[in-house]
Structure 1
C-alpha cells in the first residue's frame, strides 16, 4: 500500500481539477470564437471556404503538410518522453541516492516516487494517443480537400458540403492536437510533484494561469478573437 500524505492527495486532486476544469472550459467555448482555440476553429472553416473557390490548391496542400509534420513531430516526441519516464522509473535507486545527498529522500517514500513516475508515463501516453489520432485525422482531411470539387463548382451544394466536411475534420484534428499539447504543458506542472506537494500545486497553478492568459488575453488571442467576431457579424 502506497502511503500518500494529505498534502499529496490534495495536490493530485488540485492538478486533476485544474486540467479537467481548463479542458471543460475550452470545450464549452468551442465554436464561439471567444477563445484562441475556438477563434482558430472559425479560421479553419474560413480556410476551407476559400479553398473551395481556389483553382490551384498547392497552398492548401502545403499547409496540410505542415500541420501533419508538426503533429508527427509531437507524436514522436511523446514516445521519447515515455521512454524517458520509463528510464526514470528504472533508475529509482540512483535517483534516491541523489535525493539522499540533498537530504530529501526521507520526504519521498520509494513507492510514492514510483507512482509519480508511472503518472508521468500515463500523461505522455495520453498525449501520444491524442497526437496520433490528430495525425490520422489530418491525413483524412487532406483526402477530403482533394475530394472537394473544383472552383467552377464552388457555389454548388455538393462543393459547399465537401468544404464543410473538410473543415470539420481539420477542426477536430486541431482539437485533438490541442489536447496532446495541453498534456505536455500540464506535465511540466506535474514535475513539481517530484519535489513536494506545494511545488506541485504552485507549478500547476502557474501552468493553468499561463494557458488561460494565452487563450483569452494574449496578443495572438485578441487578434483572432477580433477576427472571429467580424466573421460572425
Structure 2
C-alpha cells in the first residue's frame, strides 16, 4: 500500500483499531459546543499525527504482528530494549516491547499477570517503569502540540467522559497534568491495571475526537492531494 493511500485510510483504520481494542464501539457524536468548533477550526486536530500516535500506543498496549514495526518504533523513540527483540518475544505472531524478566510482554498481558496474582511483584514493578517511560516517550510530540489547546482539550475530555458514561476515567487526570509533570503521571498510572484502563479510554477518545471534526477532516484530505 502506498503512503498516500495508507494515510487516506487513517481515520478508518483508527476506528477499526479501537473496535478491536474494546469490542464493537461505534463512534459517538460529541456535543456541538463552541469549544469543539474552536478546536476544529483552529487546526488543533492533526488527523495524521493522531493516527500515528494511536498506532504507537496500540503497539505498547497489545503488541504488533510485525517485528519490524516494533524495532522501528523502539529506535525512533529511543525505547529501552535490554535484550534483542526477537529473543525476548517467545511468540512468533505477536511482538511486545515491555521487558519482563527475560521476555517482552504487552501492557495488557502484564495487567493480567498483575490482576490474577501470577506475576512476580519485583519484575512487575520494573516492567511498569519501562511501560510508563515508553508511554511518555511515545506521547511527547503529541502532548507538546496539544499543550497550546490544553484548556480546550480538558473540557473536551470532560464532554467525552460524560457522553461515554466514563465519570471515573483516568483521562480526566491526563488532561489536567502539565506536560512537565512526569512524576505526577507516574503516581497516577501506578499499576498495569490503571495503565490499561487509561489507554483503553485514550484510543476511543482520539477516534471520537477526529470523527467530530469535519474541518480537520477536510484539511487532512486536502493535504493528501498536495502530496
| Band the TM-score falls in, shorter-chain normalisation | under 0.3
Name the one with the larger helix percent.
1
User: TM-score normalized by structure 1?
Assistant: 0.25
TM-score scaled to structure 2, two decimals? Answer: 0.26
